[in-house]
Amino acid sequence: MNLINNSKTIDSNTSLFGLLGNPVSHSLGHLIHNQAFFEKNINALYLPFKITNIKKGIQAIKELGIKGVSITIPFKQSVIPYLDEIDDLALKIGAVNTIINKKGKLYGYNTDCNGAIKSLKKISTIKDKKICIIGAGGAARAIAFGIKKENGKILIVNRTREKGEILANQIKGELISILDIKTKSPDIIINTTSIGMTPDIYQTPLKKDFLSKKMVVMDIVYNPLHTRFLKNAAKKGCTIINGLSMFVNQGAAQFELFTGIKAPVDLMKKIVFTTVFKSRIMKTCKNV
């Protein structure tokens, strides 16, 4: 999708928004937000910024007058001390994925939580279900607190035990090892890590031997839409949920925080699906 051809003329009145993270090359946020700006006739531009220091990134928001940003890996938690005010939900979760700049004061929000729960509830009930979350970062925290609110029973699996214990204690869940997944037999497994994300598409957070037909398996990675993890789950007969719905839901909520205008959700979903599908076809053709 050609950004310039699909955007309004960029001028001194153009509002600037963006993404702060590392990496950012996988992100399709600039596509959905810029097309949504165009659709709603808003003179604004959204750009991805790969940064290594979140403190300097926050300073740049203020210095450049950036109106709002999305926050991604690995800064959703570390960004919090640099904000002026934090929404109650984001504060409770302990992770921020959206910042709004209001006259130099920075306000933090979390749209991951509701975005993920909305996606999951389309496929499965949550109450009393045993749900295993792989990861303990910002996205994991958002999803865990959402599941807790819906009265799900939470199991946490994380590479770093200390970080996993902190989250498990906060949401009154249980920290387990990967090997425990077989004996615990969860109803739902959710990957909240970046494992399997473009360009490392052959990696998986969990071997297929740990999966069973009765499970619902969700991956928050949306590029590719069908990760190796989800492909393995599908082969096992699991019900699968890709990251498209969560990404669009949280992105739409961000757009509404950015603009105060209802987001064109169907358009955003179409853009992501078309872009990822087209990328997959092009890669297949190169390998022929």
Cβ-contact 116, 142 below 8 angstroms: yes
Per the listing, tokens 């993404």 go with 19
Count the Cβ atoms, other than its own, within 10 Å of residue 213. Answer: 9
Q: In the structure encoding, which two tokens stand for residue 208, read together? A: 């297929």
Cβ-contact 156, 174 below 8 angstroms: yes
C-alpha–C-alpha distance, residues 85 and 191, integer Å: 30
> Of 40, 55, 76, 130, which one is the catalytic site residue?
76
Respond yes or no: is residue 76 known to be catalytic: yes
CA atoms within 13 A on the CB side of 94: 12
Q: In the structure encoding, which two tokens stand for residue 117, read together? A: 């729960």
Rounded to 10 degrees, the C-alpha dihedral 42/113/139/160 comes to 160
Rounded to 10 degrees, the C-alpha dihedral 265/268/274/275 comes to -160
| Catalytically annotated residues | 76
